[in-house]
Chains A and B, each alone.
Chain A
Amino acid sequence: MKTGHILLVDDSPRDIEMALEAFAHHRVGNPIVTLRDGVEALDYLYRRGDYAGRPDEAPVVVLLDLKMPRLDGLGVLRQVKGDPKLRTIPVVVMTSSREESDVVGSYRLGVNAYVVKPLDFQQFVAAMQVLGTFWGVLNETSRGPAQPPP
């Protein structure tokens, strides 16, 4: 079964590695594209710059860290949700921050889900599994606005 790819945007290579490990552990089969900051994410989504030649295929979900160099997660979110062509791509904010301003700001911009990275690795892995299966598998074909997992 062919599945759509997941876009993972995080400036921390460790977090990326742990996320990939978690997906692998839970056998999430979707291809995963990792990017390091907001600018790269927008280039990728708009298929420009380094990613001008990539196939015209949108990710099934964007997992977005908030605190990144150059352009932060909220900036990416604002652009994606403000553009009618990209608006339908589900975006999940995945961050260490429990700050209310971040949570409220994200939902105000139209984020599909907001996940605080748990300190506990077991919990982290569990969260990744939920994200991977829900957005990567269950939500693959719907391509529309969806509700975050309960």
Chain B
Amino acid sequence: MLSYPAESKPAWLRLIGLTLAASVLVGGLCGLLYQRELAGIERRLGDREEARVGQLAFQLQRDLEPAADDLQILAQGAGLQAYLVSGLAADRERVLRGATYFSQRREDYYRIGFLDEHGREVLRVDQGGRVDGQLGDRSGDPGFGPALALGPGEIHVARFALEQGGAGPGPALVRFSTPVFDAAGRRRGVYYIDYLGDNVLARLVGSAPQLAHRLRLLDAGGHWLKAGDPAHEWGAQRPERAGYALARTDPALWQQLLREPQGRVRREGGLFSWQRVALLEPRRGGPARRVAEDSFLFVASQVSAEELARLSAGLRQIFLVVTPGLLLLAGGCVWFVDARRRFERALRRSEESLAVTLQSIGDAVLATDVAGRITRMNAVAEQLTGWRLDEARGRPIAEVFRIIHEETRTAAPIPVDAVLATGQIKGLANHTALIARDGRERPIADSAAPIRARDGRVLGVVLVFRDVTAERDAERALRTSEARYRTLFESIDEGFCVIELIFDDAGRPVDYRFLEVNPSFEKQSGLTGAVGRRMREFAPNLEAHWFEAFGRIALTGEPARFQNRAEPLGRIYDVYGFRFGDPARRQVAILFSDITRSKEAEERIVRLNTDLRVRAQELEAANKELESFSYSVSHDLRAPLRHVQGYVELLTREAQGQLSDKARRFLQTITDASREMGVLIDHLLEFSRMSRATLREEVVDLDAVVREVRAGLELALRDRPVEWRCPPLPRVRGDPVMLRQVYTNLVGNAVKYTRPRTPAVIEVGHAGTEQGRLVLFVRDNGVGFDMRHAEKLFGVFQRLHRADEFEGSGIGLANVQRIVTRHGGRVWAEARPGEGATFSFTLAPAESGPPAPAT
């Protein structure tokens, strides 16, 4: 593939330089062309104007010509000769009629008249044939003197000028005059016609009104008769305007005008063309005409600079459009030429670098001709096959590129053949190995493609292959890890799934699709056949927080662990989600388990705990009440008893000697009964105190406790033989005062109920453990009891023997049970009537075990 070389700065600069040069060239040419065209326009305009000026000059002359003829007719008329002779009014009238005739027919004739040799007016006809004017001296009229001096038939034309009158300049006039001779040949005066110059000018203008602004007329003195500005005109008659005369403003041009009868010149940025015209040409073949020297005019045309510019504006516009176009064209040409040059260079360079590129390719490249013979190899190909290009070139490819199936160890077809046969690109079969020249074997991957000419002809085959040993290893490792993952995925008890989040137009996560689930998924989620389906299909009303939570993971990539309830599914899940794969795919992997049951259990426990706390508070309140109750009892129940006894005593003392024996016995019974009741109350209070007292827990030496209890009973056993069996007891955890109470009661009972036995046998020992607690017991060989009543034993005020058999309040065992229970243990009894009893209880050992729960 050819590549267009990257633009370099010097190339840019060169291109810009070339473009500039071309632009200058083209611009210059355009400028020259413009100048030439402009000059041409001016020349053509000048020619046209010059021709027009000539035409106008001719028209002027032709315009004036009839006046000369008319004058000669009038001057030579018979009436005039007759009048000159007779001087009669009638003859004068004839002359006047002739003049009137012409005056009425020629509106150009401002005045026609005859002056005598002294310049006095003899007759005069004014414009339109009016003859009523006052006659006077006109010897000062222009041309009177020169005309009078002329010979017969000669005509004098005065300057084209304004008539000078008393009240300032009059109309522009041209006076034609001729001398008049009588029959005797004497000069008798001058006949004249005043031609109306304004009419001449009007006709000149009228011949080309659209060009009137260019028309100029100059008199013989260089004064303007027609100028660009009317205020500059008639300088000869208006001294204040004399300064505008061309002779003054441009003497050089004026001199040129006097020298050359016609011509043109650039003047004031414009074009000035002129022609000199005599007001009357001497007629050849006719009566002689003498024309005054200054009776000439210059007809001229002034094309102003502005007009010239206007005329050339179109041209300029054309050039303004054409020039940039040409510049662009020039630039484009430069670009084209340059680009083409660079393309050619790139092509050359590409061709040069193909070989280098081939050598630099990381894959092995091998090319063959259409016959399957090696034409090219790069360095990697040389290394993998073990052949050098110069050795391999021209050899059949099968010789250099030996490949076999890795597993079957049979020769594998070389794709080159297939490509040559079909002209299609061909991949290599999997598990192909290349046998190098030195016999070394490598797994390779390759593909073969035809090399085609432009016309589609197959020129050969290019074979690209590479050593895939490393890839193969990596792939194997990947497969192993994949298998491991798969096993985990399949076997874990937690649900696992990969989901793809679905977002709405506003970018909010609104749903997700299950892409993959593991076998436990169904059990944990409760959803069947989830793959490919959307969550909303299962639970249209699933709480939004689920979508939000997963959407957040998909968008931020931050994994999250949370527990939440899915009400529509009726389950609570413990969820761990993390983003899966490419963030753009918005996939989240979720590991979860259904914790509904444990969560509900937890909630139940919380509820129970709450209930328990309420109960405990109620119990505490009840306990408080009990406390104040027993306080009252200890005061108020004992006081009456004391009073009973006190007053019995007072009575006995007061009635000393007056009471019968029977009365004394009654009083004694009252005293005994109240004393018994006192003992009952004391025991009851003791029991109550034991229940309420705070449990102090420490290590207790039971041997010491038993020793003290036995010592306390020695007095009662003074005259009774008792066989004690007291093996060493283990140390326990408990309240020493309370435990002492237990042994006092139990051992006391044993002593009491063995009274009929000789000897009494009392055993205080222990018997192993029960659920981590020590089992302790007190056994005797006393009267025992019927096990049918065993459950009554530990109740308050419950007794199995009559009071007259064995004294007692029925509180002791209740107290024992209370204390043992408070230590977290239990107490029980085994007995048979007449065969003794065993009282057992459990306590926590000192060494280990949890502290006993307080009740």
Residues of A bordering B, CB below 8 Å: 12, 14-15, 18, 21, 66-67, 95-99, 117-122, 124
Q: Which 8 A-B pairs have the closest CB atoms?
A: A121-B649, A121-B646, A119-B678, A18-B646, A14-B643, A96-B638, A67-B635, A96-B635
Q: How many residues of B contact A (CB 8 A)?
A: 20
| B646 contact set on A, CB distance < 8 A | 14, 18, 121, 124
A67 to B631, CA, bound (A): 10
Identify 16 residue pairs between A and B in the complex whose beta-carbon atoms are under 8 Å apart, listed by A's number. Answer: A15-B639, A15-B643, A18-B643, A18-B650, A21-B650, A67-B635, A95-B635, A96-B639, A117-B638, A118-B642, A119-B638, A119-B642, A121-B642, A121-B646, A121-B649, A124-B642
A18 to B647, CA, bound (A): 8
Q: Mark B754-787, 1 if CB is under 8 A from A, else 0.
A: 0000000000000000000000000000000000
| B636 contact set on A, CB distance < 8 A | 67, 96
Closest to B686 in A: A98
In the complex, besides A118-B642, A121-B645, A124-B642, 17 extra interface pairs with C-beta distance below 8 angstroms are A12-B643, A15-B642, A18-B647, A66-B635, A67-B635, A67-B636, A95-B635, A98-B634, A98-B682, A99-B634, A117-B638, A119-B642, A120-B675, A121-B646, A121-B648, A121-B649, A122-B649
A67 to B642, CA, bound (A): 15
A97 and B675 in contact (CB under 8 A), knowing A14-B646, A121-B645?
Answer: no
The verdict on B685 contacting chain A, using a C-beta distance below 8 Å, is: yes
The verdict on B641 contacting chain A, using a C-beta distance below 8 Å, is: yes
A96 and B675 in contact (CB under 8 A), knowing A121-B649, A122-B649?
Answer: no
A117 to B685, CA, bound (A): 16
| A117 contact set on B, CB distance < 8 A | 638, 642
| A18 contact set on B, CB distance < 8 A | 643, 646-647, 650
Q: Mark B643-673, 1 if CB is under 8 A from A, else 0.
A: 1011111100000000000000000000000
Closest to A19 in B: B646
A97 to B685, CA, bound (A): 11
User: Is the beta-carbon distance between A119 and B641 smaller than 8 angstroms?
Assistant: yes
| B678 contact set on A, CB distance < 8 A | 119
A119 and B675 in contact (CB under 8 A), knowing A96-B638, A124-B642?
Answer: yes
| B641 contact set on A, CB distance < 8 A | 119
Minimum distance in angstroms from A17 CB to a CB of chain B? 8
A67 to B647, CA, bound (A): 21
| B648 contact set on A, CB distance < 8 A | 121
Minimum distance in angstroms from A147 CB to a CB of chain B? 27
Minimum distance in angstroms from B646 CB to a CB of chain A? 4
User: Is the beta-carbon distance between A97 and B635 smaller than 8 angstroms?
Assistant: yes
Minimum distance in angstroms from B22 CB to a CB of chain A? 122
| A95 contact set on B, CB distance < 8 A | 635
| A122 contact set on B, CB distance < 8 A | 649
Q: Mark B663-702, 1 if CB is under 8 A from A, else 0.
A: 0000000000011001000100100000000000000000
A29 to B675, CA, bound (A): 31
Closest to A13 in B: B643
Minimum distance in angstroms from A122 CB to a CB of chain B? 7
User: Is the beta-carbon distance between B634 and A97 smaller than 8 angstroms?
Assistant: yes
| B685 contact set on A, CB distance < 8 A | 98
Minimum distance in angstroms from B275 CB to a CB of chain A? 155
A92 to B195, CA, bound (A): 176
User: Is the beta-carbon distance between A96 and B634 smaller than 8 angstroms?
Assistant: yes
| A121 contact set on B, CB distance < 8 A | 642, 645-646, 648-650
Q: Which of B631, B642, B645, B647 contacts A99 (CB 8 A)?
A: B631
Q: Which of A96, A98, A120 contacts B645 (CB 8 A)?
A: A120
Q: Mark B608-648, 1 if CB is under 8 A from A, else 0.
A: 00000000000000000000000100111011011101111
A12 to B648, CA, bound (A): 17
Minimum distance in angstroms from A119 CB to a CB of chain B? 4
User: Is the beta-carbon distance between B634 and A119 smaller than 8 angstroms?
Assistant: no
Minimum distance in angstroms from A69 CB to a CB of chain B? 13
| A21 contact set on B, CB distance < 8 A | 650
Minimum distance in angstroms from A124 CB to a CB of chain B? 6
Minimum distance in angstroms from B357 CB to a CB of chain A? 106
A14 and B645 in contact (CB under 8 A), knowing A99-B631, A119-B675?
Answer: no
A62 to B650, CA, bound (A): 25
Q: Which of A66, A96, A97, A98 contacts B642 (CB 8 A)?
A: A96
Minimum distance in angstroms from B773 CB to a CB of chain A? 31
Minimum distance in angstroms from A55 CB to a CB of chain B? 33
A120 to B642, CA, bound (A): 7
Closest to A100 in B: B689
| B649 contact set on A, CB distance < 8 A | 121-122
Minimum distance in angstroms from B531 CB to a CB of chain A? 75
Closest to A122 in B: B649
Minimum distance in angstroms from A70 CB to a CB of chain B? 16
**Residue among B634, B638, B641, B646 with max Cβ neighbours from chain A (10 Å):** B646
| A96 contact set on B, CB distance < 8 A | 634-636, 638-639, 642
| A67 contact set on B, CB distance < 8 A | 635-636
| B642 contact set on A, CB distance < 8 A | 15, 96, 117-119, 121, 124
Minimum distance in angstroms from A127 CB to a CB of chain B? 12
User: Is the beta-carbon distance between A97 and B650 smaller than 8 angstroms?
Assistant: no
